[in-house]
Amino acid sequence: MRKLENKVAVITGGAMGNGLGIAKVFLKYGAKVVILDYSDELEHTIERLQSTENEVVGYQVDIREKEQVQAIIDEVGKHYGRIDIVVNNAGICYLETFENMTDEVRDRHFDINIKGTWNVTKSALPYMKKGHAAIVNLSSVTGPMVADSGEVAYATTKGAVLAFTKALAAELVNDDIRVNAIMPGYIRTPMVENMAKISNPENPKSVVDGIASAIPMKRMGTIEELGELAAFLASDEASYITAQGIVIDGGSTLPETMIMGV
């Protein structure tokens, strides 16, 4: 029996990037996957993922809108009778210095990365109290561990997601709901590629190659590798793990400096 066999899993931001990797791996392990995403790519993603063996549906939703989220989660919960897994993956990152960042861009980070995670979790919770359940939140090494210039808004929200994870885990432990966070370093996603284009529009590949060269493993992670970690944390294999932030970064937070060493 596959480790997520017949588990009902709600994944936000699953149309592309890390969310797509999570959805693909969850389907491989037998989950019934429900993707919530605002992107127009959602329809194409669902078409690619559907097969005779896969049960996957998608809802186009803005997770900032509490009423939208509640209506869709209610539909999912009533259809399946329960929700076993929630993966709060949806998030944004726009690079801008603290002094130059507008309130609108700041609020967009907070509304999607924090409030969206809050909205989906709170809506799903009543349907998760029917057995072993798991929540997996996407934090980051950025914020809790490291940061670069231009990441103040993003880093603030990802630090908040980790704090949310720990506090929520304490509240839900007696409901048999585990809550953990994944803290990725650089994973090769459209978000990272877009950041590279902004950094160097004429040669974004040089930015990507430069990032990879600074990672001890000399490469970025894949969305499927992140998906495997999410599947582990969502499965009964991780039954004694809660309130943790698990780093997946190829060792990028390891070096004390980039020049010392023998």
Catalytic residue positions, numbered: 154
Q: Can you tell me the distance from the alpha carbon of 140 to that of 115, in angstroms, rounded to the nearest whole number?
A: 16
**Other residues' Cβ atoms within 10 Å of the Cβ of residue 101:** 16
Structure letter (DSSP) for residue 5: T
User: What's the one-letter identity of residue 151?
Assistant: E
Which residue blocks in 110-151 are alpha helix, DSSP H? 117-128
Helix (H) or strand (E) holding 39: none
CB neighbour list of residue 190: distance below 8 Å, 6 or more residues apart: 16, 17
Cβ contact 10:120 at 8 Å: yes
Q: Give the distance between the most distant pair of CA atoms in the chain.
A: 60
